[in-house]
Each structure stands twice: as C-alpha cells, then as structure tokens.
C-alpha cells in the first residue's frame, strides 16, 4: 500500500495556516480539528509545518510573548516531505531517518509538488498493522488448506 491509498482511507479535510497566523489561532485550529500539526502554506505552496511540539517549545521559551507571536516565529526551518506514491514502510522510515537528522511525527504528502495531505506516525502504524494482519490471515489460510501429499 502507498501513502495515497492511506490518505484516501482517512478522508480528512486538510487544514492549513499561513506564516502570519497567530500561534493562538493555530492552536485553536489544532484543538478544533483534533490534529497535532498544521501545514504552513503561502500562495498555495507548502513552506513549512507547525506541530504541537513546536507550540510546547514556544510556551516554554516565550510564554510572555506568545500571544503576539505568529506561526512564522516557530515553524520548522527545514521540511521533510514524502510523495503520494511512496510505500508506507518507506514513509515510516523517513520519519526516523531524514535530512534533518531528527525523528518527526507528521509527514506532509506531496503529489506533483502540491500538498495533498499529511500523515502521522500513528496513521502509518495503524495501516501497516492492518496490512500485516491481513497477510497473516492469508498465510494461515494457505497453510491450513495445504494439499496433502499423495503416496
């Protein structure tokens, strides 16, 4: 299965912010939609991402200034993305080994250079587990119905 198939199963509306969005508005969107990250777009193009972890660092380091800060102040400076045709296992590997040398939990998905969705490590784990369970059932059925050898 590829990431595009997973996105089609999720059927969740993509919620984005701009670099000028206030952090408090971004947090309100995350809470409203029960999501842990927001892609940051400018002129329809993906420029970064803001995650719940970014917000927590901002709260810890800039609590007094937080209500006046924008997404631009805390968004990721380097972005890890994946294409829609990427296999699930490769997308999961990218979350652990990538160009920023840091584990990530949310992966923006691009198709023809356009943002089409975002997947979390939980989304990928669930899909990979479903795939493994299906493969396991197929193998058990195959072994159970193994033809006996004739003498």
Nearest to 108 by CA among 100, 97, 116: 116
Q: What is the pLDDT of residue 23?
A: 95
Give the C-alpha separation, 107 to 8, whole Å.
16
Residue 118: pLDDT over 60: yes
Angle at 66 (CA atoms; ends 63, 72), nearest 5 degrees: 130
Give the mean pLDDT of 63-87. 92
For the chain, the structural domain boundaries read 3-144
Give the C-alpha separation, 128 to 130, whole Å.
5
Give the C-alpha separation, 14 to 129, whole Å.
24
Which is the CATH superfamily of the domain at 3-144? CBS-domain (3.10.580.10)
Q: What is the pLDDT of residue 56?
A: 94
- Please state, in angstroms and as integers, the Cα–Cα distance from residue 137 to each residue in 1, 25, 144, following that order: 17, 46, 10
Tokens 């059932």 correspond to what residue? 137
Q: What is the pLDDT of residue 17?
A: 97
Give the mean pLDDT of 35-55. 94
Q: What is the pLDDT of residue 150?
A: 61
Confirm if 27 and 70 have CB atoms less than 8 A apart: no
Q: What is the pLDDT of residue 83?
A: 95
Q: What is the pTM of this model?
A: 0.81
Q: What is the pLDDT of residue 151?
A: 52
Give the mean pLDDT of 38-57. 94
Q: Write the pLDDT tens digit of every residue in 21-31.
A: 999 999 999 99
């Amino acid at each position: 299965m590829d990431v595009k198939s997973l996105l089609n199963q999720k059927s969740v509306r993509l919620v984005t912010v701009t670099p000028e969005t206030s952090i408090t508005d971004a947090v309100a969107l995350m809470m409203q939609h029960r999501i842990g990250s927001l892609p940051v777009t400018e002129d329809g193009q993906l420029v970064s991402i803001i995650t719940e972890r970014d917000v927590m660092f901002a709260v810890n380091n800039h609590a007094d200034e937080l209500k006046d800060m924008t997404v631009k102040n805390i968004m990721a400076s380097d972005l890890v993305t994946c294409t829609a045709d990427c296999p699930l296992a490769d997308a999961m590997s990218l979350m652990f080994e990538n160009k920023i040398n840091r584990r990530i939990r949310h992966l923006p998905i691009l198709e023809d250079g356009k943002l089409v969705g975002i997947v979390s490590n939980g989304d990928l784990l669930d899909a990979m587990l479903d795939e493994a369970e299906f493969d396991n059932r197929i193998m058990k059925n195959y072994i159970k119905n193994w033809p006996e050898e004739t003498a």
